[in-house]
Structure 1
Amino acid sequence: MAYWLFKSEPSTWSWDQQVAKGEAGEEWDGVRNYQARNHMRNMKLGDRGFFYHSQKDKAIVGIVEVCAESHHDSTTDDERWDCVDIKAIRPFETPVTLDQIKADERLSEMVLVKSSRLSVQPVREDEWRMICAMGQTNPD
C-alpha cells in the first residue's frame, strides 16, 4: 500500500463534503499540475491518503482511500488530465496542523514541508504513522 496527501481548500471541497459522498466516493478532479497528475496515475485501489485542508486551516483532518484508479477527469475535454476517486475512511481525532508538522524534525523531509504547493503528493510510511500518532488516529 502507498500513502498520499490530497490538498483542498475547504471553501471549494471540504472534509464534510467528502464524508457526505459515502462509499461511492468522489472524483479528485480539477488537478492541473503534471506532477500531481502523475502521482494519481501511480495510485492503486486501497491506497490511503491524508485529507488536508489548505489555505486558512492548514491541517490534516481525515483519512481517505482510493476507490477508483486513474481515469479521465470528467471536468475537462483535455485528454491530458486524469484523476482518481477517493472515499472518506475516518476523521482525525485531533487535526494535525502544518505548523506541528514543520516543528517535528522527523518530518523535515516530508513533501508537504519541502513543496507545500503540490496538491497531490506522496507520503512515506514512517511519516504516515507519525502523523496519525500526532492526530491520535488509527493509521490502519
Structure 2
Amino acid sequence: MTQYWLMKSEPEEYGWHDLVRDGEGTWDGVRNAQASNNLKAMREGDLALFYHSRTGLEAVGIMRVSQTAFADPKDDSGRWVAVKVKPVEPLRRAVSLQVMKAQDALAGMAMLRQTRLSVAPIAPDEWAHILMLAGNAPASTA
C-alpha cells in the first residue's frame, strides 16, 4: 500500500525545477530525528509532495520514492539517512500553506501541527484533498 509524504526543500537550495532537470534526486541533509525516522519509513514507490519552504511556502509537485533509506552522503557521523526521489508530475496549481491551513479536511496534517518538520506523513484522505485543490487527478499518480 502506497504511503504519502510531504517533503520540504528551499527552492534556492534544491527546487522542483532542479529535480525535474536531474530526473532523480537525493533527499539528504535532514537533521531532525523525527524527519529522519520518516525517511526511514519510506518504501520504494511511495508518493510525496515537493513543498517549497522559506520561499513560496507551497506544494508544487509530486515525486515518487525511487530508493529507500541509505546513509546520507553528506553526513560523516553515520547517524542520518537520505532517500532518492523521482519527479512524477507538477501540480497544476501550487497549493500554498495559507490554503492548506484554511482547509478543515487538512487540520490534522502533521506538517501543519509541526511546522518545522521537513519530512512529514500525509494521510490518504489529506493527499486526495490536496490533489483536488491542485487540480490533479489522483489516478494520474497511481
The TM-score normalised by the length of structure 1 is 0.96
Residue equivalent to 1:55: 54
Q: Secondary structure, in 3 states, of the residue corresponding to 2:63?
A: strand
Deviation at 1:97, TM superposition (A): 0.4
C-alpha separation in 2, matches of 1:138 and 1:20: 23
The two structures, once aligned, show a CA RMSD in angstroms of 0.7
Q: Secondary structure, in 3 states, of the residue corresponding to 1:44?
A: coil
Residue equivalent to 2:6: 5
Residue equivalent to 2:77: 78
Where structure 2 has 5 or more consecutive residues not aligned to the other structure, the ranges are none
**Any residues of structure 2 matched to 1:1-140 within 5 Å, and which?**
1-22=2-23, 25-139=24-138, 140=141
Identity rate, percent: 38
1:79-106 deviation per Cα after TM superposition (whole angstroms, max 9, x unaligned): 1111110111100000000000100111
Q: More helix by proportion, 1 or 2?
A: 2
The TM-score normalised by the length of structure 2 is 0.95
Deviation at 1:138, TM superposition (A): 2.4
